Amino acid sequence: MHIADGIIDARIAIAANAVAVAAIYVSGRKTTIEEIPKMGITGAALFVASLVHIPFAGTSVHPGLYGLVGIILGKRAFPVIFTVVLFQSMIFQHGGLLSVGINSINMGAGAFAAWLIWRQQALPEYLRAVFAGFIGIIIPVLLMATEFQLSGYGRGILYLFSIYILAAVVEGVVTLSVVKFFRRIKSDILT
Amino acid sequence: MKHSFIDKYSKLNSTVHRLDPRIKLLMTFLGIIIIVSEPPGKILPFAFYGVAVLILMLLSRIPLGFIIKRFLILSPFILMAALFFPVSLWLTNDEQIVNLQHPAFKVALSIFLKAGLSVILLILLISTDKFHNLLLGLRKLKMPKLIGVIAALMYRYVFILSDEALKTKRARESRTPGKLKVNKMKVFSNQMAMIFLRSWERSKIIYHSMLSRGFNGEFPVMQKLAMNRIDVVFFVCFLTAFLAVRFLITPLT
């Protein structure tokens, strides 16, 4: 899900960095010193999660956890996701350095959408959790498909990315399972 | 515990290693911008960029085998993304792509070269300086303060998390040795949640100890970054070479 440098149009990648910096200021405004360790450890978990592979249907997938990050951090998710994407780019070269902005916007939008769904208290919790996990993958994929199309790849990219629906379903199940565990063990971690 | 997956060759001593981290970050960032701004379908300029990057690699004294191995691990992903271009056009039915002579494949090759060279520049960046020096460089380059604090804590918390992950994995394996046959997803999710909770508790204790010792969100460092003449000369040479390829050679090809 990490776009490397050179894959999409350079102008889009550069503009996305400017948008990402603005988003950091907006979403990180008035962060209290008490919120910092939660942001740090969630970031570390997100970073490590990309190295974990779950055997699934004869292959392996790694959890994205953007939905879960949205549930845990709410509007503070974006600065954390930006930092993780920056780390992944510099340390493991997953995604490019110039593409940090575009990658963090894609994933941050997924986390933000998941948070919005999670806040709909009228819905049962299990439904909110599954849907938050699902949407946490689908939104980044849709944004990514749009960016590829704007870079001249054509509509066909949507067919290629449809495989991510499967990953989003797995993510929904994992998110539900983790939320249930948190609710049982440590309820206050859920925003 | 030893964690050497980050910045493996950062302790070598070479001209590139001795450069100011800010210079290295700027060189990488600007170098990538110049490379990815090449018009789609141009191939020849990448030979020149390649030579410049090869010189950097040789000057850095990082074993070429390491860089090639790292690149080969990442290359299937880059290749796949590059091949998305012709395949996507074919699926769109806007184009009839029947052979490798089609211009779409030339564009795919240029995408692969852009992404590949950018990846090599990133491998060089992380291998030629300690990660915390690069973070310091980013802070000096006016990275938002909040990102600096999250980054500094995250870097330390990754080790807490990997320690907890190892402990939890051992505990699970000691109870149910071998391959899991049932409820894989549930066990995996619970394990993940448990690692997170334990690490979170531990990170809170560490953070409170930091607060009690006067931590106010700043990470004061004794280390002073100072740019010297070699840094500036290196930066100017690197940038001039890349700009020359981009604006003098590319229009000719």
What's the gap between Cα B21 and its chain centre?
Answer: 15
Give the pLDDT confidence score for residue A191 in this predicted structure. Answer: 67
How far apart, in whole angstroms, are the C-alpha atoms of residue A44 and residue A26? 22
**Contact yes or no for A12/B166 (Cβ under 8 A):** no
Give the pLDDT confidence score for residue B97 in this predicted structure. Answer: 63
**Average of per-residue pLDDT across B104-113:** 90
Residue B53 lies in a domain: yes
Q: What is the DSSP string of B129-151?
A: S-HHHHHHHHHHTT--HHHHHHH
**Contact yes or no for B134/B126 (Cβ under 8 A):** yes
Q: What is the pLDDT of residues B16-68, one digit of tens each?
A: 999 999 999 999 999 999 999 999 888 999 999 999 999 999 999 999 999 99
Distances (CA, A) of A5 to A8, B69, B107, B204: 7, 19, 15, 36
Residues A135, A136, A142, A144: what is their CA dihedral angle, to the nearest 10 degrees? Answer: -170
**Contact yes or no for B141/B26 (Cβ under 8 A):** yes
Structural domain span for residue B35: 15-138+225-252
Do B119 and B155 fall within a single domain? no
Lowest mean pLDDT among A29-38, A127-136, B119-128, B218-227: B218-227
Do B41 and B122 fall within a single domain? yes
Do B108 and B42 fall within a single domain? yes
CB of B73 within 8 Å of a chain A CB? The answer is no
How far apart, in whole angstroms, are the C-alpha atoms of residue B158 and residue B155? 6
β-pairing, A54-56 vs A59-61, is antiparallel
Do B120 and B32 fall within a single domain? yes
Do B78 and B154 fall within a single domain? no
Phi-psi region of B235 (alpha: psi -120 to 50; beta: other; left: phi over 0): alpha
How far apart, in whole angstroms, are the C-alpha atoms of residue A182 and residue B106? 51
Residue B70 lies in a domain: yes
Residue of chain B nearest A180, judged by CA positions: B190
Do B170 and B151 fall within a single domain? yes
Say whether pLDDT at A59 is over 70: no
Contact state of B157 with A39 under an 8 Å Cβ cutoff? no
How far apart, in whole angstroms, are the C-alpha atoms of residue B42 and residue B197? 51
B180 sits in which H/E element: none
Q: Classify residue A83 by burial, with Cβ atoms within 10 Å: 0-12, 13-18, 19+.
A: buried
Do B148 and B246 fall within a single domain? no
Q: Which of A53, A68, A42, A56 is nearest to A130 (CA)?
A: A68
Q: Which of A73, A94, A191, A190 is nearest to B146 (CA)?
A: A73
Q: What is the pLDDT of residues A62-83, one digit of tens each?
A: 678 899 999 999 999 999 999 9
How far apart, in whole angstroms, are the C-alpha atoms of residue A8 and residue B215? 41
Considering only the beta carbons, identify the residue of B5, B94, B157 that sits closest to A40.
Answer: B157
Q: Domains in chain B: how many in total?
A: 2
- Of residues A139 and A35, more confidently modeled: A139
CB of B124 within 8 Å of a chain A CB? The answer is no
B20 sits in which H/E element: none
Do B21 and B133 fall within a single domain? yes
Do B168 and B128 fall within a single domain? no
Residue B117 lies in a domain: yes
The three state secondary structure string of chain A is CCCCCCCCCHHHHHHHHHHHHHHHHHHHCCCCCCCHHHHHHHHHHHHHHCCCCEEECCEEECCCCHHHHHHHHHHHHHHHHHHHHHHHHHHHCCCCCCCHHHHHHHHHHHHHHHHHHHCCCCCCHHHHHHHHHHHHHHHHHHHHHHHHHHCCCCCCHHHHHCCHHHHHHHHHHHHHHHHHHHHHHCHHHCC
A61 - beta bridge partners?
Answer: A54
CB of A174 within 8 Å of a chain B CB? The answer is yes
Residue B3 lies in a domain: no
How far apart, in whole angstroms, are the C-alpha atoms of residue B119 and residue B137? 20
Sign of CA dihedral B184, A61, A68, A145: negative
Residue B4 lies in a domain: no
Q: What is the pLDDT of residues B190-218, one digit of tens each?
A: 888 888 888 888 888 888 898 898 887 77
How far apart, in whole angstroms, are the C-alpha atoms of residue A142 and residue A140? 6
Do B197 and B241 fall within a single domain? no
Give the pLDDT confidence score for residue B201 in this predicted structure. Answer: 87
CB of B33 within 8 Å of a chain A CB? The answer is yes
B residues 152-171 lying closer than 8 A (beta carbon) to A:
153-158, 160-162, 165
Distances (CA, A) of A148 to A5, A145, B81: 13, 5, 10
Residue B52 lies in a domain: yes
Which of chain B's residues have a Cβ under 8 Å away from the Cβ of A174?
185, 188-189, 192
Residue B2 lies in a domain: no
Give the pLDDT confidence score for residue B96 in this predicted structure. Answer: 66
Residue B9 lies in a domain: no
Give the pLDDT confidence score for residue B1 in this predicted structure. Answer: 46
Coil, strand, or helix at residue B170? helix
How far apart, in whole angstroms, are the C-alpha atoms of residue B146 and residue A24? 8
- Of residues B225 and A169, more confidently modeled: A169
Contact state of B88 with A83 under an 8 Å Cβ cutoff? no
Do B121 and B246 fall within a single domain? yes
Which of chain A's residues have a Cβ under 8 Å away from the Cβ of B111?
6-7
Other CB atoms within 10 Å distance of the CB of residue A109: 22
Considering only the beta carbons, identify the residue of B7, B91, B189 that sits closest to A181.
Answer: B189
A87/chain B closest Cα distance in angstroms = 8
CB of A85 within 8 Å of a chain B CB? The answer is no
Which of chain B's residues have a Cβ under 8 Å away from the Cβ of A77?
none
Q: Which of B66, B23, B82, B22 is nearest to A5 (CA)?
A: B82
Do B46 and B169 fall within a single domain? no
- Rounded percentage of chain B residues whose pLDDT exceeds 90: 36
Contact state of A13 with B119 under an 8 Å Cβ cutoff? no
Architecture in CATH of A10-189: Orthogonal Bundle (1.10)
Q: What is the DSSP string of B112-134?
A: HHHHHHHHHHHHHHHHSS-HHHH
Distances (CA, A) of A43 to A12, B53, B234: 26, 32, 35
What lies within 8 Å, CB to CB, of B208 at 6+ separation is: none
Lowest mean pLDDT among A131-140, A172-181, B103-112, B186-195: B186-195
